[in-house]
């Protein structure tokens, strides 16, 4: 009976982590990974997943989490943006979260565009910079969702096996 409680807790960690992969405030992938790690310590599921799998997914989680923070900045810089554009994209994402789902998608772009315009950039270059921030954000989001899906695959396989 206690194994079921721990499995449910691990599942909740994964679920909150999956939501956190989209929500900007919750550390999504690390929570997904911790849910999977918890399964390793449950007697009925611990033998169903290897430490190698846990370690590899932990490494991928760390890399993707770092990339998720770098890609929007890199995309912005690649398109000629400055710190205000990056801050605008970040603030746009946080505000956009309250207008989900479209706010989460469009918030970084609108925020970066406003950041570019506030910093004195003309409309067309500011739009280009905002597009870089937007593409960087979407790339990070896609990487997080794919990684959360891979963790989900191993999670389900571990629980069912």
pTM of the model: 0.81
Name the token pair of 100.
């989900």
Please enumerate in sequence order all residues whose Cβ is within 8 A of that of 97, keeping only pairs 6 or more positions apart, or say none. 23, 24, 25, 103, 104, 107
Name the token pair of 81.
């943006």
129/92 Cα distance (integer angstroms): 14
Please enumerate in sequence order all residues whose Cβ is within 8 A of that of 152, keeping only pairs 6 or more positions apart, or say none. 14, 18, 32
HSE-CB for 42 with a 13 A CA cutoff:
24
56 pLDDT higher than 70: yes
DSSP conformation letters of the chain: -HHHHHHHHHHHHHHHHHHHTTSSSS-HHHHHHHHHHHHHTSTTTGGGS-HHHHHHHHHHHHHHHHHHHHHHHHHHHHTT--HHHHHHHHHHHHHHGGGTTHHHHHHHHHHHHHHHHHTT--HHHHHHHHHHHHHHHHHHHHHHHHHHHHHHHHHHHHHH-
Residue ranges of domains in the chain: 2-160
54 pLDDT higher than 90: yes
Q: What is the tens place of the pLDDT at every residue in 72-105?
A: 878 888 888 888 888 888 888 888 878 877 887 7
Q: What is the tens place of the pLDDT at every residue in 105-154?
A: 788 889 999 999 998 889 999 999 889 888 888 898 899 999 999 999 99
What was the pLDDT predicted at 1? Answer: 65
Q: What is the tens place of the pLDDT at every residue in 37-53?
A: 999 999 988 899 999 99
């Amino acid at each position: 009976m206690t194994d079921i409680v721990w499995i449910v807790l691990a599942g909740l960690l994964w679920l909150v982590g999956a939501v956190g992969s989209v929500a900007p405030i919750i550390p999504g992938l690390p929570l997904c990974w911790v849910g999977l790690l918890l399964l390793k310590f449950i007697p009925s599921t611990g033998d169903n997943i290897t430490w190698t799998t846990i370690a590899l997914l932990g490494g991928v989680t760390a890399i993707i989490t770092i990339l998720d923070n770098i890609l929007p900045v890199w995309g912005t810089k690649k398109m000629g943006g400055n710190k205000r554009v990056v801050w605008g994209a970040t603030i746009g994402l946080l505000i956009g979260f309250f207008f989900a789902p479209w706010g989460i998608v469009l918030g970084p772009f609108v925020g970066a565009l406003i950041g570019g315009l506030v910093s004195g950039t003309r409309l067309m270059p500011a739009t280009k910079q905002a597009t870089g921030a937007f593409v960087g954000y979407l790339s990070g989001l896609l990487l997080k969702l794919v990684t959360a899906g891979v963790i989900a695959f191993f999670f389900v396989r571990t629980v069912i096996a």
